[in-house]
A = this chain, B = another copy of it.
Amino acid sequence: MPVFAIKTRSSQSRARTGKLSTAHGEIKTPVFMPVGTLGTVKALSPEELMACGAQIILGNTYHLYLRPGCEIIDIFSGLHGFMNWHGPILTDSGGFQIFSLAKMAKITQEGYSFQSHIDGSRHMITPEDAVDIQLRLNSDILMCLDQCISYPAERQQAEAAHELTLDWAVRGRAQMEKNCTGKNLLFGIVQGGMYRDLRELSALALADLDLPGYAVGGLSVGEPVELMHEIALHTLRLLPENKPRYIMGVGRPEDLVEMTGSGADMFDCVMPTRNARNGQLFTAFGKININNAGFRTDTAPVEPGCTCYTCRNFTRAYLHHLYRNRELLSYRLNTIHNVYYYTSLMEQMRQAIEQDAFLSFRKEFYAKRKNIAC
């Protein structure tokens, strides 16, 4: 059985639906993956994640490596048992967090050296280590260690980052061949900044490695949204048709719609979970901030017609009250709604693609979006 099987291709766009097989279950694509940084998608239980339609969640290797540490995860033979989530898990490589969170991070051909942002302890992570750590987490999908650059970046810097990332992908693949005894899948990451030719070099060279999936990294790092969509489309077109294509760290509902149309299969972003904790809720009609005084007396659910647990059981007035008072239940109910919104959006896109109606879906999606409440 192939790891990834395409089910339907849109005749109206580059969108497609498919099925990605992992050691912990099958994933219908296109899919959104909620972020569970420290072995918990903040505020949600595993059962709630499933009820929200989450098919796979993301863990952060850098965070889990530092806390609780691999020696604790080992006791549970991986992250699934530790956190009691028995669906698929994808872990990032840690590179992005080392660069953005760790102290004294230095990058060499060998790998990253850095100090923990928690206790200042010194660490070195090579591309081989990144694979080994993720194997100890028993991630269903591992990511190659990569170098992510900020925007704007000089061509020379983007070129060097792409070359290093490619070299590390080769080393990561070799480490997988040496140490992987299960069905874990290693994905490569395309870099190259906003330079179209570098993206091409990166994508084609990675494709030659015949990895089971590919990600587009280095997006949503400060570039204009039009440029992000352009680079995403450009890169997605260069990636193998028969492999799952994952856009890392993106993004807004609009981005998911556009990039699904450009042929992306997988997404992750902290937006639904983080924004929920800041009182911002997603609806088909746009975002609302539950803190707004207008919701004080509002007996409607967050989104009329939404079938999430929060909307089925609670009013905007109650959610407003909980949020105003920073009650713990607020973060959970908001997160449930937002994760459900994201997974439902993907489900709607899968249906539209299968009915070959992606363009009319997209048109309706934009038609509904007007900010009714903010």
Contacts and interface: CB of A to CB of B under 8 A. Distances in A.
Contacts of A317: 68, 72, 75-76, 82
Given A72-B296, A72-B297, A324 B42 contact: no
B329 A44 contact: yes
Nearest to A329: B40
Copies in the assembly, this chain: 2
A313 interface: yes
The 8 A-B pairs of least Cβ separation, nearest first, read A43-B328, A68-B321, A40-B329, A40-B327, A84-B313, A38-B325, A328-B331, A42-B328
Contact of A72 (B42, B72, B321, B332): B321
A335 to B, nearest CB: 8
B322 A40 contact: yes
Contacts of A327: 38, 40, 42
Contacts of A299: 75-76
B42 A332 contact: no
Given A84-B314, A297-B75, A313-B84, A328 B322 contact: no
B321 A328 contact: no
A252 interface: no
A106 interface: no
Interface in A25-64: 38-40, 42-46
A67 interface: yes
Interface residues on A, range: 20 to 34
A67 B297 CA distance: 13
Contacts of A211: none
A72 B319 CA distance: 13
A83 B42 contact: no
A365 interface: no
Interface of A: 38-40, 42-46, 67-68, 72, 75-76, 82-84, 296-297, 299, 313-315, 317-318, 321-322, 324-325, 327-329, 331-332
A325 B39 CA distance: 11
B329 A68 contact: no
A68 B299 CA distance: 14
23 contacts: A38-B321, A39-B321, A40-B329, A42-B327, A43-B328, A43-B329, A45-B332, A46-B313, A67-B321, A67-B325, A68-B296, A68-B317, A68-B321, A75-B297, A75-B299, A75-B317, A76-B317, A82-B317, A84-B313, A84-B314, A328-B328, A328-B331, A332-B332
B318 A39 contact: yes
Contacts of A82: 315, 317-318, 321
A42 B297 contact: no
B328 A332 contact: yes
B43 A318 contact: no
Nearest to A322: B40
A77 to B, nearest CB: 11
Contacts of A68: 296, 317, 321
A67 B324 contact: yes
A18 to B, nearest CB: 32
Given A68-B317, A76-B317, A84-B314, 13 more contacts: A40-B327, A40-B328, A40-B329, A42-B328, A42-B329, A68-B296, A72-B317, A75-B297, A82-B315, A83-B318, A328-B328, A328-B331, A332-B332
